């Protein structure tokens, strides 16, 4: 049985069987067998391939890792949990933003607290100007999903949509900056996601509880784990079905 996950992951990062073989240190025919015969590589090769394609070992080879190791890897990815998003230290937000160099992804409804942070907007611009990819998805202000969330948080009709529109003003200096893209999404937002390279803050949403009062966790990507990757895929799924933000 072919390993389509591995094949697709290699294609997405532009690697052939030959280049992947060179990177891992094996013969190209060995990589071909991993692809076409679903052969499971040795642990050292699994780790190198997972790092190469940016996917977890448990995603590429679901049956290769014992359940106990998968569980331990998942636990190890969770750096810290916070009872409320407002409890996430300011120093952590600043550190994650400053250390990021290649990717910053944000999935929110309004996310007002971000642009209210000193230098957040100017730092995004500076990061993009040196090659970082910045993607921010806001809730569509007039959508049913946004209005429902506004009601569930007891904010009142149209309040959350107005907050989104208000917040967009702060991002205007970034319009036209290469590497920065804004979109609107109409999805039910189960989690707000704030990704900084291989680390992220995930803010869980609870019915009737405002985002700042809901729990959050700091997650760091590990090759053998799949917690980070689960939220990464969730962001991508929303991003792919969202539309360019209408300013």
CATH of range 75-244; options 3.20.20.70, 3.30.870.10, 3.10.310.40, 1.10.3080.10:
3.30.870.10
pLDDT of residue 75 exceeding 70: no
| CATH 1.10.260.40 domain range(s) in the chain | 4-64
Its CATH architecture, for the domain 4-64, is Orthogonal Bundle (1.10)
Distance CA 88, CA 7 (A): 38
Distance CA 204, CA 202 (A): 6
Q: Where are the beta strands (DSSP E) in 75-179?
A: 78-82, 103-107, 133-139
Distance CA 189, CA 30 (A): 43
pLDDT at 60: 81
Tens digit of pLDDT for each residue in 190-228? 999 999 999 999 999 999 888 899 999 999 987 667 789
| CATH 3.30.870.10 domain range(s) in the chain | 75-244
Tens digit of pLDDT for each residue in 139-148? 999 999 999 9
pLDDT band for 66, please (50, 70, 90 cuts): low
128 vs 3 pLDDT, higher one: 128
What's the whole-number average pLDDT of the chain?
89
Query: Average pLDDT, stretch 234-238?
Result: 95
Q: Where are the beta strands (DSSP E) in the chain?
A: 78-82, 103-107, 133-139, 180-185, 191-196, 199-204, 216-220, 243-244
Distance CA 174, CA 192 (A): 21
pLDDT at 213: 94
What percentage of the chain reaches a pLDDT higher than 90?
A: 53
pLDDT of residue 68 exceeding 60: no
Tens digit of pLDDT for each residue in 89-98? 999 999 999 9
pLDDT band for 61, please (50, 70, 90 cuts): confident
Which of 27, 15, 99, 97 is CA-nearest to residue 54? 15
pLDDT at 196: 97
Q: What is the pTM of this model?
A: 0.74
């Amino acid at each position: 049985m072919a390993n389509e996950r591995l094949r697709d992951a290699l294609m997405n990062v532009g690697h052939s069987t030959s280049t992947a073989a060179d990177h891992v240190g094996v013969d190209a025919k060995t990589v071909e067998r991993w692809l076409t015969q679903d052969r499971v590589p040795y642990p050292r090769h699994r780790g190198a391939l997972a790092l190469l394609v940016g996917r977890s070992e448990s995603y590429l080879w679901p049956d290769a890792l014992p359940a106990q190791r998968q569980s331990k890897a998942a636990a190890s990815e969770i750096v810290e949990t916070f009872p409320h998003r407002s409890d996430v230290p300011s120093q952590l937000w600043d550190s994650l933003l400053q250390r990021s160099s290649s990717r910053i992804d944000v999935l929110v409804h309004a996310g007002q607290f971000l642009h209210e942070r000193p230098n957040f907007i100017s730092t995004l611009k500076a990061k993009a100007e040196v090659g970082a990819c910045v993607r921010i998805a806001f809730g569509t202000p007039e959508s049913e999903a946004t209005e429902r969330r506004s009601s569930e948080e007891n904010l009142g009709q149209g309040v959350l949509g107005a907050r989104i529109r208000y917040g967009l003003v702060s991002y205007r200096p970034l319009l036209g900056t290469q590497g920065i893209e804004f979109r609107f999404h109409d999805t039910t937002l189960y989690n707000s996601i704030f990704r900084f390279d291989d680390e992220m803050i995930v803010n869980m949403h609870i019915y009737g509880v405002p985002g700042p009062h809901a729990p959050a966790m700091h997650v760091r990507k590990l090759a053998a784990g799949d917690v980070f990757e689960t939220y990464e895929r969730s962001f991508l799924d929303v991003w792919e079905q969202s539309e360019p933000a209408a300013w």
